[in-house]
Amino acid sequence: MGISIVEAIPLRIKRDEAYLGGIPQAADPAAYFTRPPYRALYSAYFETAFVKITTDDGIIGWGEALSPVAPEVVCTIIEQLLAPVLMGRDPLDGNVLWNVMYDLMRERGYYGGFMLDAISACDTALWDLRGKLLNQPVYKLLGGAFRERIPCYVSGLPRPTAEERVSLALEFVEDGFSAFKLAAGHGLRADAASVKALRDALGEETALLLDAHWVYALDEAVQLGHALTDQGVGFFEAPINPEDIESHARLAAAVAVPIAHGETERTRYQFRPWLMQKAADILQPDVGRAGISETIKIAAMAEAFNVRMAPHLSVGLGICISASIHVAAAIPNLYMLEYQPPVFAIANMLLESPLICEAGYYEIPSGAGLGVELDEGRLLDLQA
């Protein structure tokens, strides 16, 4: 038994609302745009990259890379660099194959970014394959489930005013959700006021989280961190530029609110200094960027430092979401998993059987492998 086909599939789906709010009217749907005060590129589409790995006896495994921009880059890496070394190999040799892929460009400095996104997609597909070959769900192959369902927080609340964000959060509260993350970075007073408005409306029992998108300097982050502590915020995510580990360590030492970091990193090697320098209290690797194998290793390393995991899960669709749920089930040090309702709805549109998230919890998909299958007919229609 060996791998006989490796296919990479880029996908763009038009959307009307993004994580940070509506799409700018002037945005060219064929181009990317920035959204001040944030510096990253954004797309008017949901963009992702799937990989389909087939064995010579016809068993299929699906993977997905988090690809919010330029999914063709990930697909080119898979087709030109990774597929040739996977062909003919035994999909059960997962750890070996991860290292084979990682070593291809390691000495040239490609141990992050698009290269690791591509490796992660293939790694997830190989886990899906192994589960199907052994007729076991992925979480079982990872050592079993520590929990029967996965606690999650609603991420984003994409409304322009505090009043509208409160109103949206209250709608989710009626449906049983009790944890929310705000997209912040609009200034110290505005961010603190936004959190306070939610706290006043939702009460002390609701978990509130804040994502600053790396816009603050250390002194600003310390000021905001104290304000968030007073509001009982569960974590302060991405406060300072991700390269500045030392400032994050100083921030973590100065404030009581837990500091969260990780969507920018891909490997245990990149997370190690964050743990060694006590720069993060909660790690947030994204399975769509780190893959299942590496996320599990990061979680094990974090456990040794008594650090919790809150896996990042943004615009990855059904394969990313299912893989993240399996990982969240299999790690002992889980805090919560991210949940974006608009993304979740589009993800389910592409699946033969829907994923379920209700009343603040994901259900673990049943069945072998990841427990989900892409609707290839629907996928082809969207590519047309």
| pLDDT tens digits along 56-81 | 999 999 999 999 999 999 999 999 99
Give the mean pLDDT of 318-332.
Answer: 98
pTM over 0.75: yes
Q: Which residues of 317-342 are buried (b: 16+ CB within 10 A; e: fewer)?
A: bbbbbbbbbbbbbbbebbbbbbbbeb
pLDDT in the model for residue 26: 55
| pLDDT of residue 234 exceeding 70 | yes
Q: What is the pLDDT of residues 258-315, one digit of tens each?
A: 999 999 999 999 999 999 999 999 999 999 999 999 999 999 999 999 999 999 998 9
Query: Among candidates 87, 146, 62, which has minimal Cα distance to 335?
Result: 146
Instruction: Indicate which residues carry an active-site annotation.
Output: 312
User: What would the pLDDT profile of 100-131 be if each residue is shown by its tens digit?
Assistant: 999 999 999 999 999 999 999 999 999 999 99
pLDDT, tens digit (0-9, with 9 covering 90-100), for 134-144:
999 999 999 99
- Contact assessment for residue 3 and residue 87, using Cβ atoms and an 8 Å cutoff: yes
Work out the number of other CB atoms within 10 angstroms of the CB of residue 299: 25
